[in-house]
Structure 1
Amino acid sequence: MIHFAIRSISLHRSPERFTGRYPFNAILFVISGMKYWRTCGRELTSPPPMFILTVDGQPRDGEYGPDREGWIIVLDEIRFRLSSRRGFVEIVDSPGPIQLPLFTPIPPERVPGWQIEFERIQAALQTPTWQNRFRAEAGVMNIFRHLADSQADTLHDTPAARLKTLIDQDVRFSETLSQLSRKCGYTSDHIRSLFHDEYGMSPNTYRSRRRLALAMELIANSRLPVKEVSARLGFQHVSAFSAAFRRLTGASPLAAVRQFRKGST
């Protein structure tokens, strides 16, 4: 989904006073020693351990003391930009909007585990076989996943987010998108635009993908016949379900049943 390369990873333990602009996109793992850090109207004073994302060209002003300890992973072939949503960074070249928090505090008990993760990334880069490059990049993706997970329970309250929640809750697909849109207080056309801006796809596309995900779950992990799967997903006729499934996957539901249920029909 996203492409990047690791330019460098380094451990820093020296005092430093810095100002100006960041010359790279990077992940900072601040363990200790940061006296203060200012950027884009935000200020941290003696912050706890945390991850910080830096954006190429982002203004910075701060200082590390003699007890400094922290890592920096500099990334290439990926572009960050500051989001219009305060406190977030966007990954520019992703297929759809991906936002990650600028600052992510780390509980003290998890710091040793992350130190080991960064040491593993560094060791993999120092012996740069293809296998080790994969291991290093997988480590960075683990960090990205943690950043994404850290904001999963703090979903901002927007009309698009409310519509997504209603779509997720309608597991039987018993209501139309127009009905769900009205529950959010918007017309279908208006909220469609808001939804696309926030999630990079239309509500209809999202609902179709969710329907497919639920269909695959029922096909792979239940013994329900195709007719029952179709009914549970709100299709009036099995033929309509089969056509939609084939359009999204290139295969029929019956073929998927044979594949995932080891020949059972």
Structure 2
Amino acid sequence: MQLEIVHPGRYTAPETFVQTTLFVHVGLCLGGLDYMNIAPPGGGEQLKLTGAAAPFLTMIPPGARVDFRFGRKRENWVIQCRMPELIPVAGACRQQLEQDGSLLCFPYMRRIKAGHALPLRERFALVVSLWQSGTPANRIAAEWMTVGICGEMFAEEEPPDREGTTPAARLRLAIDADRGFRKTLAELSREAGASAGFLRKCFRRAYQLEPAEYRARRRLGRIMELIDRNELSLKEIAEEVGMRHVTHLHAFVRERCGVTPGELQKQRGRSS
């Protein structure tokens, strides 16, 4: 699937707006929505959403008319991108994606479980931070991560391991629960009920990702969340994510994003 990011962002200001989309909008709505009405390109049946639908994902094609109002508790993320294989269905809030000679058909919106909202939020935050770093490698990584987010729209049901019924899922849930990153992977593996070596193999097979890399991405997502809140110093953020020294935070963020935490704060319109 070809995908080229034009602009990703997070939006929190109250707003009433009507727009015609110029690009594909891959979005995550977490709260603050009063209403959102989406009409397909050329007109037809409308998709009408209220705050009761949140949290939900959207993938809206170019040329759609979007009429929305968000209140003061707004939080939504939008990745604007080009996807040449995306084909809107005339007169309906559905679209098709051409892939290997087949057409996948899916709606503009998909509800997600509340427990899955935070991991998705962190994935959107990571896309934004990688893209804003400006380095070619990080921008490619952001686009690949967006492809993965789009994959959530195609799934017809929750993956069977999401409730922790497999060894890999139990380890993933243990990592997710360690919000302060105080435990080692060996300790988390014991909580998941198996050896670290065995769980590593299961995790790689299930998610095509090393457990350590998954944990690092979660940690980066948490760092981005804390920077975005603008409530803590960099030293306090380091402590919140299990780092003993702020120098560890600087090294971690620079390695992952190509910029320092202070530069990320400035990119998000704040001073360090």
Q: Summarize the Cα distance change of 1:80–1:151 in structure 2 as closer, same or farther, 3 Å threshold.
A: farther
Q: Summarize the Cα distance change of 1:20–1:87 in structure 2 as closer, same or farther, 3 Å threshold.
A: closer
Q: Shift in Å at residue 94 of structure 1?
A: 6.9
- The whole-number CA distance in structure 2 between the counterparts of 1:113 and 1:152 is 14
Question: Does 2:28 correspond to 1:29?
Answer: yes
Question: Does 2:129 correspond to 1:129?
Answer: no
Q: Summarize the Cα distance change of 1:85–1:107 in structure 2 as closer, same or farther, 3 Å threshold.
A: farther
1:48-63 to 2 correspondences below 5 Å: 48-63=54-69
> What corresponds to 1:67 in structure 2?
73
Q: Secondary structure at the match of 2:22?
A: coil
1:97-116 to 2 correspondences below 5 Å: 97-116=103-122
Q: Secondary structure at the match of 2:78?
A: strand
- The number of residues matched between the two structures is 152
Higher RCO (CA < 8 A, seq sep 6+) = 2
Q: Summarize the Cα distance change of 1:58–1:87 in structure 2 as closer, same or farther, 3 Å threshold.
A: closer
1:63-212 to 2 correspondences below 5 Å: 63-78=69-84, 80-83=86-89, 86-91=92-97, 95-150=101-156
Q: Secondary structure at the match of 2:102?
A: coil
> What corresponds to 1:18 in structure 2?
17
Q: What's the TM-score once normalised by structure 1's chain length?
A: 0.51
* 1:137-184 deviation digits (Å, cap 9, x = unpaired): 22111112211113699xxxxxxxxxxxxxxxxxxxxxxxxxxxxxxx
* 1:190-217 deviation digits (Å, cap 9, x = unpaired): xxxxxxxxxxxxxxxxxxxxxxxxxxxx
The one-letter amino acid of 2:78's match is I
Q: Shift in Å at residue 30 of structure 1?
A: 0.6
Q: Summarize the Cα distance change of 1:109–1:152 in structure 2 as closer, same or farther, 3 Å threshold.
A: closer
- The whole-number CA distance in structure 1 between the counterparts of 2:125 and 2:60 is 20
The one-letter amino acid of 1:19's match is V
Q: Shift in Å at residue 3 of structure 1?
A: 0.9
Q: Shift in Å at residue 7 of structure 1?
A: 1.0
The one-letter amino acid of 2:47's match is R
Q: Secondary structure at the match of 1:3?
A: coil
1:182-261 to 2 correspondences below 5 Å: none
> What corresponds to 1:43 in structure 2?
48
Q: Shift in Å at residue 83 of structure 1?
A: 2.0
CA RMSD in angstroms, aligned pairs only: 2.5
- The whole-number CA distance in structure 1 between the counterparts of 2:12 and 2:117 is 16
Return the index of the structure with the highest Cα Rg.
1
What percentage of aligned pairs have identical amino acids?
A: 18
Q: Shift in Å at residue 75 of structure 1?
A: 0.2
- The whole-number CA distance in structure 1 between the counterparts of 2:102 and 2:118 is 33
The one-letter amino acid of 1:103's match is M
> What corresponds to 1:3 in structure 2?
2
- The whole-number CA distance in structure 1 between the counterparts of 2:9 and 2:109 is 19
- The whole-number CA distance in structure 2 between the counterparts of 1:137 and 1:44 is 27
Query: Is the Cα contact below 8 Å between 2:24 and 2:83 reproduced in 1?
Result: no
Structure 2: gaps (5+ residues) = 40-45, 160-272
Q: Shift in Å at residue 131 of structure 1?
A: 2.8
